[in-house]
Amino acid sequence: MRALILFVCLSVGGLATPRPKQCTSPPLLTGSFSVATQNEKLMGFAKYSYDALRKRIHLREVGSFNNKTFHIDLLLLYKEGVMYKINYKNRTCSKKPLSVEFHPLEIPQSASLLGQVVLGSSSGPGQGVLVNTWAGELKLKEGPAKYMSTVTEFGCIPVSTLFHRKKSGWVVVSFFNGIIGLVDPQHLIPPSFCEDARLESGEEPITFFNLF
């Protein structure tokens, strides 16, 4: 009898699989992503370092925008409210106001679960990964924007994010080669030649979404 009660308790409590919950990604992440817009104006690859503890992001992106290639190195320091645009080749640096709040890599509480699937297969080891896909609406200046985010069930690692922008259509961001931790913490510190950079004011404030 006692064994039966234990079995029932385990089935209802410990062993029962709950519905996936909105989750927050690890606070320190290093990895890469590709970004492409539906109107084909933007196509890029970026390496990122992400530090939610000290609210800093470093992006090094190459790509093409309106058929012109670009190469950009950005350091976003949200606590200081500044963004550095760094040119390591010429050792120049521009410093711009960063007006937005840092928002962590997470699935917002308001998101609703679209479903849980295995990308690839669950038939053998290394053949797939279990992911959850969430959908919702971002509140952007231009109006509400639909998004769809996929993260791994284990670890809440970002896999892909789609969001809709009026000017470019769907923006598809695919994350890969994620590593928990900072591979090179120095990437999140402004280089020495940025020390003399003066804050450029009077420009349109930068948001994460008009970086794309």
Q: Applying CB under 8 A, which residues contact a copy of itself?
A: 29, 31-32, 38, 117-131, 152-155, 157-159, 174-181
Whether residue 49 contacts residue 70, with contact meaning beta carbons closer than 8 Å, is answered with no
Of the candidates 103, 116, 112, the one whose C-alpha atom is nearest the C-alpha of residue 135 is 112
Q: Which is nearer to a copy of itself, 83 or 173 (CB)?
A: 173
Nearer to a copy of itself by Cβ, of 7 and 176: the residue is 176
The two structure tokens encoding residue 126: 């290394």
Minimum distance between the CB of residue 191 and a copy of itself, rounded to whole angstroms?
27
Comparing CA positions, the residue from 137, 136, 77 lying closest to residue 101 is: 77
Q: Provide the minimum distance between the beta carbon of 45 and a copy of itself in the complex, in angstroms, as a whole number.
A: 10
Whole-number minimum distance, CB 148 to a copy of itself, in Å?
A: 11
Q: Shortest Cβ distance from residue 144 to a copy of itself (Å)?
A: 18
Min separation Cβ 59 and a copy of itself, Å: 18
Q: Which residue has the tokens 């794309």?
A: 212
Cα maximum dimension of the chain = 77
Q: Name which of 188, 161, 155 is nearest 86 in CA terms.
A: 188
104/205 with CB nearer a copy of itself: 104
CA distance 45 to 187: 17
Element (H, E) at 30: strand 28-37
Closer CB to a copy of itself, 59 or 132, in the complex: 132
Closer CB to a copy of itself, residue 9 or residue 183?
183
Nearer to a copy of itself, 6 or 118 (CB): 118
Chain-centroid distance, C-alpha 83:
17
Least distance between a copy of itself and beta carbon 211 (Å): 22
- In degrees, to the nearest 5, what angle opens at C-alpha 155 toward C-alphas 110 and 116? 60
What is the helix (H) or strand (E) element at residue 34, kind and residue range? strand 28-37
